[in-house]
Amino acid sequence: MSPNPDAATADLAGYEVLVGVTAGISAYKTCEVVSRLVQRGAGVTVAMTRSAKKFVGPLSFQALSGRRVLTSRWSDEDPSDVQHIAMTAAANLFIVAPATANILGKVAAGIADDLLTTLIVSAASPILFAPAMNDRMWANPIVQRNVRTLTEVGHTFVGPQSGWLACRSVGPGRMAEPADILDAAVSILRKSQPRQSN
C-alpha cells in the first residue's frame, strides 16, 4: 500500500485550526476532517457542544487531534480558567461541522451562551460552516435568512449537499463530504500565513 500523500507532505504545518462540533449524526464525518487536517500537519483543537457528545465522544476527537477536547467554558482542572477564548486568537481558521440550524441561528443573532458560541463570537479568523439538517429545516426562510446574514458578514459555507438524510428523506441538507470540507478549508488557509512557527 502506498503511503498517504497527505501525511507525507505536511503542507499545513504551522496552521492552527479550531473545529466546532454540534449535535448532528454527521459529526462522525468531522472525525475524518480532523484526522486529515492533522495528517497534513495542522494543529487542531476541537470544541464540542454538550449535545454533540451524544453522537461522537470527546475521546475520539482527542485521539485524532492529539489534544484535549474543549467541552465547557470552564476548565475541569481549574474552574477559574476561562482562557479558552485565547485559542481563537491563535487560530487561522474556525470550522463548524456539522453546523445545525440552531448554531447558525445563534451565531447570526450574536448569542454566546455556551463554549462553542462564545468561541465563534470571539473568533479572530475566518469561519467555515458545514451545514447539516433536515431538508425542510434548510429550506426554512428563517434559516436561509441566517445563512445570508452570516455570508454578508464574511463567513463561508461549504454545502449542504443533496442526498439521503438521517430523517430518511432525500433532499438538500446532507453535510458536505470530508474531502469537500478539507478542500474549502485549505483554500481559506492558503490566504494567510501560519500563525505558529514550524
Residues classed as catalytic? 167
- Report CA Rg, the chain: 16
Q: How far is CA 185 from CA 32, 118, 130, in A?
A: 13, 21, 11
User: Which of 1, 3, 69 shows the shortest CA–CA distance to 31?
Assistant: 69
At 159, which amino acid appears? G
Burial (Cβ within 10 Å: 0-12, 13-18, ≥19) of residue 186: middle
Which one-letter DSSP state was computed for residue 3? Answer: P
CA 139 vs CA 79, 125, 134, 147, 160: distances in Å: 41, 28, 9, 11, 11
